[in-house]
Structure 1
Amino acid sequence: MDKRSVQQIVQAVGGRENVIAATHCVTRLRFALKDEGKVNKEALEQIDMVKGSFSVNGQFQVVIGQGLVDKVYNEMIEMTGLAKATKQDIKDAAEAKLNPFQRAIKTLADIFIPILPAIVTAGLLMGINNVLTGQDIFYDGKSFVDVHKEWADVASMINLIANTAFVFLPGLIGWSAVTKFGGSPLLGIVLGLMLVHPDLLNAWGWGAAKEKGDIPVWHLFGFDVQKVGYQGQVLPVLVASYVLAKIEQYLRKRIPDAFQLLLVAPLSLLITGFLAFIAIGPITFAIGNAITSVFVTIFNNVPAIGGFLYGALYAPLVVTGMHHTFLPVDLQLISSTGGTFLWPILVMSNIAQGSAALAMMFLAKDEKLKGLAVTSSVSAYLGITEPAMFGVNLRFRYPFIFAMTGAAIAGMFITINQVLAPSIGVGGLPGFLSIVPQKWTPFFIGMAIAIAVPFALTYVFGKFKKETK
């Protein structure tokens, strides 16, 4: 390992005096910096061992690579005299610099990122079930299991396994949210599962029960409280988790240690449970439905504009970290309407960023940039766009703009054709598995647009730009 390169990295991020704390993950150095304006990105990315750099949620991250990053980190610590820090230390230092709006977005990210693997896995499994049960995929007017009935129970079991993460989604969110808010994760799980207890009316049957006037109720203190579950809902468990964590913290400070086991958890759950069913649940359920109605109304009335704008703006949202705010909206749309029209546009955006980065591979003369463009484009095609965006496209600007253009056109096309995803899967080329089979054709056309338009525009402009220099 070249010690001089490590020294150059420290100098490029503003020097020892600009570093509050530093740690590393599997592939990246993570810095909490006093002033990111002092970073010399051009000098940083000229260092051979640096594969790219970007800033997110108050952290400045330098991509080094697996296997080498820990050696670079240890050398940097020895060279600078910095104390070794944990990821949480960096998060805390970075969060202190965020404004309230940025903190709110980061809170959502911290809650949903840990449960995202479960949701994506469920989406992939549901995609397999869609292939087995969708009509006109293998046979005209029939599904695979209609013709091969011996596979029907296999599809049924796959569907059960896949649906579990969505049916018990409040349990997953409860665990992650209560942990984030400083409460006991186990109580968060219990709270989430309590909101989908089988004794409650299933949320998906609430509309039909309301029309019939057949919603079960509890009679509490002279009030009728609906016995309704919150399957697939996001807002009720988010707010209830915050309340639970704060009640638990309050009680732990005031109840003697000898009685905490007997009192803290029961009182926290009891109080939160009553509040959840009496006030939090009904209010947030109505808010969630209102949010859903706004998006549905926009995309029903002006689908071309909605799809174009969301396709164009999704990548900038990723740059700011605000894209995390739309995952709850996707989940709410799936719960309320049976499918989301936003997530398929996300796939178009990711593919478009990969295509623009791939075009840069053909334009670049620097071997390091060529390698980064290839690897980051493959990553983007599989749903992870940060290396392509921060390592290649944003560095040259025009690939990023042309990727936004391709994503906007593709997003407009698939929205006009009412492409829906009943689940969330891999946000890249395998994303078709999460699309209803009847809409595969327009989705594939949208993917072709997202591949061809950014690639062609980036390549042609790049060639023209070099010729005019």
Structure 2
Amino acid sequence: MDYNKVAKELVPLLGGKENVVSATHCATRLRLVIDDESKVDSSEIEELDGVKGAFSSSGQYQVIFGTGTVNKVYQPFAQELGIEAGETSSNQQSSSGADHKEAAKQNMNPLARFAKTLSNIFVPIIPAIVASGVLMGVLGLLNTYEVFTPESAIYVLLNMFSSAAFIILPILIGFSAAREFGGNSYLGAVIGGIMTHPELLNPWGLQGGASPETMEFIGMNVELLGYQGTVIPVLLTVYAMSKIERGVRKITPSAIDLLVTPFVTVIVTGFVALLVIGPLGRVVGNGVTFALDAVYGFGSGLAGLVFGGTYSLIVLTGVHHSFHAIEAELLNSGGNYLLPIWSMANVAQGGAGLAVFFKTKNKKTKELAIPAATSAFLGITEPVIFGVNMKYRRPFIAALIGGALGGFYVTMMGVEANGIGLTGAPMAAIATDVLNYVIGFAIAVGTAFIATFLLGWKEEK
């Protein structure tokens, strides 16, 4: 493969270098922000040597080359655009990675932009929650098989390790959200700390029959109840904090900015958090979980069938990024029963992609189908959805059927997750019922595989 030749051929097919607003790459794909996507010739791009598919998603036009190859193509491609590796094109005033993300967000509709914002906040936190979730699973096994007693030192210590991330979740969210909202990350963490201060009763204590104290402040009864493990209250509060911080900094002389801005921001936001936004956010969060619990409780199998059958459609819009916040809220009230459903939808796309590999006679589709299907089995579905299944449409429909049946099974069996973010095979590490999760996995993949062959499609010569 001549990487320089491919790069030179790719630029005009994208509508010329002036049509490329920003460019970067991930492990497998070129990620491009395009000014006018109507100028992009996708069919010709997919015919280029080494290209395994191309699609538009999340405000970016993405060209799949595969691991290793994409790095080698990007170097000459960046030179063709007149930029250095990691920079944006001349259409952008700045050349940081943040500019590429911002340019991509500007290409989205408001709903997708909102979802992407939530994704940017929660994705960096996922490793901490996953670690805690896996530890919870280990503790469950130790307890089930009576390897250690709950009173033993090792059990007590592991229990501390597993619950820590959820106890300080508002601090983690505060730090990440402030960075996304344009505020000071450390002030965001301080606000999260205020909302989980030891003087406030941990809400988990309510389950033990404890009741929070109240105090009177300017004629208001303030409930001294903390926000450990909550999501929506701290998101709303840190958003307000970022606005307050920018407003204060705008009117504060530079000479005293370091002293005045953090001081005023923390005091004002602290009062706003405990008196107004926190209680309001708690009501909103409880309302979301109550509504989902009502749907799930009314007919868990039906919920799995509907959610599992429609999740991939939501992925097409990019709005699925916002679900991390909902899942984190569910973890605070019990278990995450949504993640196993999403997982069934994802692996079903992999099953359909695997069937396409065996059925298609198109060489380029075969080259993409196996790695794309494998990616879906590991929880990343965009390559197989946009590069394989949507290309023939009926495999995508077959995957919806597989996701619905897999979702039906895992919800009927009560499979939940102890974390967020992991789907596919890795989710087994945080599943509360690994055996039934694996069975649901097999149902979703097998159904999608068989349905793809039964539905078939008319392949272009």
Same fold (TM over 0.5): yes
The whole-number CA distance in structure 1 between the counterparts of 2:450 and 2:271 is 58
Q: What is the CA–CA distance in structure 1 between the aligned matches of 2:300 and 2:60, rounded to whole Å? A: 36
State how far apart, in whole Å, the 2-side matches of 1:360 and 1:158 are. Answer: 45
Q: Distance in 1 between matches of 2:421 and 2:356?
A: 28
Alignment of 1:153-302 (within 5 A): 153-206=153-206, 209=209, 214-302=211-299
Partner of residue 145 from structure 1, selected from 144, 147, 151: 147
Alignment of 1:298-337 (within 5 A): 298-336=295-333
2:431 and 2:58 map into 1 onto residues whose CA distance is 31
How far apart, CA to CA, are the structure 1 residues paired with 2:245 and 2:104? 27
Q: Does 1:132 align with 2:129?
A: no
- C-alpha distance in 2, partners of 1:272/1:240? 7
SS at 1:115's partner residue?
helix
- Residues 98, 153 of structure 1: CA spacing in aligned structure 2 closer, same or farther, 3 A cutoff? same
Deviation, 1:9, is: 1.7
- Which amino acid is 1:456 matched to? I
Q: 1:379 aligns with which of 375, 400, 403?
A: 375
Q: How many Å apart are 1:174 and its aligned residue?
A: 0.5
Q: Secondary structure at the match of 1:113?
A: helix
Deviation at 1:366, TM superposition (A): 4.2
* TM-score under structure 2 length normalisation: 0.90
Pairing 1:97-116 to 2, within 5 Å after superposition: 97-116=107-126
Comparing 75-84 with 44-53, greater Cα deviation is found at 75-84
TM superposition shift of 1:12: 2.7
Counterpart residue number, 1:444: 438
Cα distance in structure 1, aligned partners of 2:430 and 2:251: 49
* Aligned counterparts of 1:152 and 1:391: Cα–Cα separation in 2: 52
Say which of 446, 451, 454 aligns to 2:448.
454
SS of residue paired to 1:48: coil
Greater Cα offset, 3-12 or 227-236: 3-12
Query: How far 1:155 sits from its partner (Å)?
Result: 4.4
Count of aligned residue pairs for this structure pair: 451
Amino acid at match of 2:112: Q
For residues 34 and 383 of structure 1, do their structure 2 counterparts lie closer, same or farther at Cα, with a shift above 3 Å needed?
same
In the alignment, the residues of structure 1 paired with residue 157 and residue 43 of structure 2 have an alpha-carbon distance, to the nearest angstrom, of 53
In structure 1, list runs of 5 or more residues that go unmatched: 136-142
The letter for the 2-side match of 1:416 is M
Map 1:76-87 → 2, pairs under 5 A: 76-81=77-82, 84-85=87-88, 86-87=96-97
Deviation at 1:345, TM superposition (A): 0.4
Q: Aligned pair 1:65/2:59, yes or no?
A: no
The DSSP-based 3-state class of the residue aligned with 2:309 is helix
Distance 1:13 1:119 in 2: 40
Does the C-alpha gap of structure 1 residues 433 and 2 become closer, same or farther in structure 2, counting only changes over 3 Å? Answer: closer
| Cα gap change, 1:345 to 1:176, in 2 (>3 Å) | same
Any idea what SS the aligned residue of 2:199 has? coil
- CA distance 1:390–1:144, shift in 2 (3 Å): farther
Q: CA deviation at 1:29?
A: 1.8
Partner of 2:424: 428
Question: Shift of the alpha carbon at 1:226?
Answer: 0.8
Contact in 1 for aligned 2:33/2:59 (Cα 8 Å)? yes
Q: Which segments of 5 or more consecutive residues in structure 2 lack a partner in the other structure?
A: 89-95
Deviation at 1:208, TM superposition (A): 5.2
Aligned twin of 1:413: 409
State the distance in 2 between where 1:378 and 1:151 align. 43
Q: CA shift at 1:430, angstroms? A: 3.4
* CA–CA separation in structure 1 for the residues paired with 2:356 and 2:153: 48
Alpha-carbon contact 1:311-1:409 (below 8 Å) kept: yes
Tell me, in whole angstroms, the C-alpha distance in 1 between the residues paired with 2:97 and 2:421: 27
Is 1:389 matched with 2:385? yes
- Residue 314 of structure 1: CA displacement? 1.0
Q: CA deviation at 1:451?
A: 1.8
Shift, 1:269, TM fit: 0.8
Q: Deviations over 1:14-57 (max 9, x none)?
A: 33342223233343222111222332222212222223322222
Aligned to 1:140: none
Q: Distance in 1 between matches of 2:287 and 2:194?
A: 24
Distance 2:288 2:328 in 1: 12
**Residue 183 of structure 1: SS of its match in structure 2?**
coil
> Is 1:119 equivalent to 2:129 in the alignment?
yes
Percent sequence identity is 40
Q: Which amino acid aligns with 1:404?
A: L
Distance (Å, rounded) in 1 between the aligned partners of 2:150 and 2:202: 31
Q: Which amino acid aligns with 1:78?
A: Q
Secondary structure of the 1:91 match is helix
Q: In structure 2, how many angstroms separate the alpha carbons of the residues matched to 1:169 and 1:154?
A: 24
CA shift for structure 1 position 200:
1.1
Query: CA deviation digits over 1:98-145, x for unaligned, max 9?
Result: 332232222112211222232223323322233322x3xxxxxxx242
State the AA in 1 paired with 2:41: N
Change (3 A) 1:38 1:128: farther
* TM-score normalised by length of structure 1: 0.89
Deviation string for 1:46-78 (max 9, x for gaps)? 222223322222111212234443442332233
Paired position in structure 1 for 2:93: none
> What's the offset of the Cα at 1:187?
0.8
Partners of 2:250 and 2:137 in 1: how far apart?
48
Task: Give 3-state SS (helix, strand or coil) of 2:62's partner.
Answer: strand
Where 1:408 maps in the other structure, the secondary structure is helix
Whole-angstrom distance in 2 between the partners of 1:426 and 1:166: 17
Question: Match of 2:176, SS?
Answer: helix
CA contact (8 A) 1:124 1:426 kept: no
Deviation readout 1:76-108 (Å, 9 max, x if unpaired): 233344674143222222333333223222211
